Amino acid sequence: MTATLIDGKAVAASLRATLAARVAALAFRPGLAVVLVGDDPASAVYVRNKDRAAASVGIAARTIRLPAETNQAALLAQVAALNADLAIDGILVQLPLPPPLDARAVIAAIDPAKDVDGLHPLNAGRLATGDAALVPCTPLGVMKLLDAAQVPLVGARALVLGRSNLVGRPAAALLLSRDATVTLAHSRTRDLAGECRRADVLVAAVGRPELVRRDWVKPGAVIIDVGINRAADGSLVGDVAFAECWAVAGAITPVPGGVGPMTIACLLENTVTAALRRR
């Protein structure tokens, strides 16, 4: 048996097309502000991609570049200005911030209605209590991939590997909200392989190259690999040993081309959602 490939590029392209049509029908252009502090090359690439993707669906994107020496007060003042700006529906502060800036305080200063990264404590709390919230883009993308592959979630055993605020925790909350029976595993979990083997749906978000091996996978399980890691030979690999697990799983996402393209598409969706709620 070989698994069905869940094509994140195709699902993301279809989501962008839907968003472009929705935006074209609006009487206004949703506005997204991306704040980039410092000159980290990887962050600069991410921000450029976000800018391009926003423009491709008709969102007015504005990138605010601040020098690495920006202090906390100046960054908070920038966030306050964007909170007050009526043309801006979504605010994203690109992480990580250069030290000694305090990312938690900056995220907490963003208007929760404009928090398109879904990281503000109010949105995280709403998600945890099952209320409508702006949801972090990567786990939102994970759910859309599961839906695109028509994976039954009600009553399914779902294992989320990794408990970060960015991916693991919100992914677990979203799976729970869809009536999966959810286990949240992390670096202190005993018998990780055994926990994984029980899962009908396995979401891996650990940042450890090819941690999940063939004998960790229940035959026919659906695997969503969030990990993006650089292998020794310089290639990109996920948290799942794809070539091995492909032979056992029922469906699996590739890396690259799985969750990655969904993250930016979901940022655009969150911007449109925030705009419609606000205006």
**235 neighbors 257 (Cβ within 8 angstroms):** no
Residue 188 interacting with ligand NAP (CB under 6 A): yes
Cβ distance to ligand NAP smaller for residue 262 or 272: 262
Which of 260, 265, 270, 274 forms a contact with ligand NAP (CB under 6 A)? 260
* Alpha-carbon gap, residue 202 to 249, rounded angstroms: 10
Q: Which helix (H) or strand (E) holds 83?
A: helix 72-84
Cβ distance to ligand NAP smaller for residue 41 or 188: 188
* Alpha-carbon gap, residue 4 to 145, rounded angstroms: 12
Q: How many residues bind ligand NAP (CB under 6 A)?
A: 24
Q: Provide, rounded to whole angstroms, the least separation between the CB of residue 6 and ligand NAP.
A: 13
Picking from 77, 69, 83, the residue whose alpha carbon sits closest to that of residue 33 is 83
Query: Using CB under 6 A, which residues numbered 191 to 220 contact ligand NAP?
Result: 192, 205-208, 211
- Number of neighbours of residue 195 by Cβ within 10 angstroms: 18
Catalytic annotation, pick one of 117, 200, 225, 239:
117
Which of 11, 36, 196, 226 forms a contact with ligand NAP (CB under 6 A)? 226
Q: Is 94 a catalytic residue?
A: yes
Catalytic annotation, pick one of 89, 94, 114, 115:
94
Which of 55, 187, 231, 276 forms a contact with ligand NAP (CB under 6 A)? 187
Q: Which two tokens stand for residue 207?
A: 């940042």
Does a cis peptide bond (omega within 30 degrees of 0) precede residue 100? yes
Cβ distance to ligand NAP smaller for residue 205 or 252: 205
Q: Is 50 a catalytic residue?
A: yes
**279 neighbors 114 (Cβ within 8 angstroms):** no
Stretch that binds ligand NAP, among 34-42, 99-107, 108-116, 182-190 (CB under 6 A): 182-190
DSSP H helices in the chain: 8-24, 41-56, 72-84, 103-109, 121-129, 137-148, 168-177, 192-197, 242-245, 259-278
Q: Which helix (H) or strand (E) holds 264?
A: helix 259-278
Catalytic residue numbers, as ranges? 50, 94, 117
Q: Interface with ligand NAP by CB under 6 A: which residues?
A: 138, 161-164, 166-168, 186-188, 192, 205-208, 211, 226-229, 259-260, 263
